[in-house]
Structure 1
Amino acid sequence: MNLVILAAGKNTRLDTGIPKSLVTLNGETLMSRHIRIFKRHGVNKFCIISGYGADKLEVALPKLKEAHDADITILHNERFDLENGFSVFRAKEWVENNGMSDFFLTMGDHVFDPEFVGEFVRKSNVLENTLQLAVDMPGESNKHIDIDDVTKVLVDDVDFIKSISKTIPEYNRYDTGLFRLKAEIFDVFQKSFDQEEYTISESVSKLIADKQAKSVLVEGYTWNDVDNPDDLRSTKDLMDQKRL
């Protein structure tokens, strides 16, 4: 299994001088945590998409490889000023060169309970749709989430995604930032770029009408998006509580 990790963002809301994926919590960087957890659940190839602070990720690469005995590639997205869908597209050559039919995708600044990852890997094992997104039900386990910033998802009664955005008025799930994608997703991204749409959510919307965007409910576990100082503090608190 294979994982693409997006680590290209400009860190406008949490600029510590390094990519957010290299922020250290409880003695481990967020990037190292991702590689450790996903490797435990069967991922053996990793592709990191760099952008802002790319030189610092390159410096960290040998230590990551040594610490995890992992196959890790870094690809640089020179247009890291664009939205996250363009960063995913940068992995196209890696996916094609390695003959991959599908891959997992997550963000370098997200943090997951290891069992959250394990459940999504198990539930998404048979990939019948172009895109599967791990979603969570709003509730006690995720009440720390920034409701104004989280991407919201509306799904139907058989888990197909009906709409997705940070601003949709009706929703019943949260986007957790963990996907499993078929390789043909890159064709969808290209269609979005042709219309000057660069977010992952905009490409997901193009799959909805064809019933190719499915949600996978993973609930009862903790996850967080370390996007700003408040998120960083809440993540530290969750780790202190042994919830991450």
Structure 2
Amino acid sequence: MNLVILAAGKNTRLDTGIPKSLVKLNGETLMSRHIRLFKKYGVKKFCIISGYGAENLEQALPELKSTHQVDIKILHNKRYDLENGFSVFRAKDWVEENGMKDFFLTMGDHVFDPEFIGEFVEKSAKLENTLQLAVDMPGESNKHIDIDDVTKVLVDDHDFIESIGKTIDSYNRYDTGLFRLKSDVFDVFQQSFDREEYTISQSVSKLIASKQAKSVLVEGYTWNDVDNPDDLQSTIKLMNESRL
């Protein structure tokens, strides 16, 4: 199993001068935490997509490799001014060169309870869709989530995604930022780029019509998106409460 980690964003809302994935929480960077936890659940190769502050990630690479003893590749996205779907596409050659049939994808500024990751790894192995998205049910375990910023998802009774976006009115799940994708998903991203659509959600929308976008409910665990100073403080609080 292999993981792509997006870490190219410009950090406009949490500008510490370094990529958000290198922010330390309880003495460990978000990037190091990702590698440690996903390694625990069987991921052997990691591809980090850099952009803003790429030199900081390059400087951190030797220590990440030494600490975790895994294969880590950094690929630079020069067009990090575009949306996150373009960063996903930057991993295409890495996926093909390594002969991967599928791969995991997450964001460098997200934080997951370890058991959340383990449950998604197990559940997603049983499905055959091009895209599988870990979703959560709105409830007590995620009441700290910024409702204005979280990507919302509407799924049907069979867990197929019907719509996705930050501003949709009707929804019953939250997008947690963790995916399992088949390698042919890059064809869909290219179709989106041809229409100058660069978000992951826009490419997911293209898979909805063909019933190739499915949700995987991972409920009852804590996760967060460290996108701004409030998110950073809420994540620290959750860690101090042993919820992450």
Structure 2: gaps (5+ residues): none
Question: Which secondary structure does the structure 2 equivalent of 1:48 belong to?
Answer: strand
Once the two structures are TM-superposed, the CA of residue 168 in structure 1 deviates from its matched residue by 0.3
Aligned to 1:135: 135
Once the two structures are TM-superposed, the CA of residue 131 in structure 1 deviates from its matched residue by 0.1
For residues 135 and 126 of structure 2, the distance between their equivalents in structure 1, rounded to whole angstroms, comes to 17
Question: Which secondary structure does the structure 2 equivalent of 1:78 belong to?
Answer: coil
Aligned to 1:6: 6
Q: Deviations over 1:161-182 (max 9, x none)?
A: 0000000000000000000000
Aligned to 1:178: 178
Once the two structures are TM-superposed, the CA of residue 92 in structure 1 deviates from its matched residue by 0.2
Aligned to 2:109: 109
Q: Deviations over 1:175-197 (max 9, x none)?
A: 00000000000000000000000
For residues 48 and 126 of structure 1, the distance between their equivalents in structure 2, rounded to whole angstroms, comes to 26
Once the two structures are TM-superposed, the CA of residue 127 in structure 1 deviates from its matched residue by 3.7
For residues 70 and 19 of structure 1, the distance between their equivalents in structure 2, rounded to whole angstroms, comes to 21
Question: Which secondary structure does the structure 1 equivalent of 2:86 belong to?
Answer: helix
- Aligned-residue sequence identity (percent) comes to 83
4+ residue stretches of structure 1 with deviation over 2 A?
none
Once the two structures are TM-superposed, the CA of residue 126 in structure 1 deviates from its matched residue by 2.7
Once the two structures are TM-superposed, the CA of residue 136 in structure 1 deviates from its matched residue by 0.1
Aligned to 2:154: 154
Aligned to 2:43: 43
Structure 1: gaps (5+ residues): none
Question: Which secondary structure does the structure 2 equivalent of 1:13 belong to?
Answer: coil
Which one is further off, 227-236 or 118-127? 118-127
Q: Are 2:195 and 1:195 aligned? A: yes
Aligned to 1:85: 85
Question: Which secondary structure does the structure 2 equivalent of 1:233 belong to?
Answer: helix
Amino acid at match of 1:232: L
Q: Deviations over 1:57-94 (max 9, x none)?
A: 00000000000001000000000000000000000000
RMSD across aligned positions (CA): 0.4
Aligned to 2:27: 27
Aligned to 2:65: 65
Question: Which secondary structure does the structure 1 equivalent of 2:138 belong to?
Answer: coil
Structure 2-normalised TM-score?
Answer: 1.00
User: How many pairs were matched up?
Assistant: 244
Once the two structures are TM-superposed, the CA of residue 199 in structure 1 deviates from its matched residue by 0.1
Amino acid at match of 2:78: E
Amino acid at match of 1:160: F
For residues 59 and 126 of structure 1, the distance between their equivalents in structure 2, rounded to whole angstroms, comes to 38
Amino acid at match of 1:146: D
Amino acid at match of 1:64: L
Question: Which secondary structure does the structure 2 equivalent of 1:215 belong to?
Answer: strand
For residues 223 and 112 of structure 2, the distance between their equivalents in structure 1, rounded to whole angstroms, comes to 4
For residues 82 and 89 of structure 2, the distance between their equivalents in structure 1, rounded to whole angstroms, comes to 11
For residues 142 and 127 of structure 1, the distance between their equivalents in structure 2, rounded to whole angstroms, comes to 25
Q: Deviations over 1:17-38 (max 9, x none)?
A: 0000000000100000000000
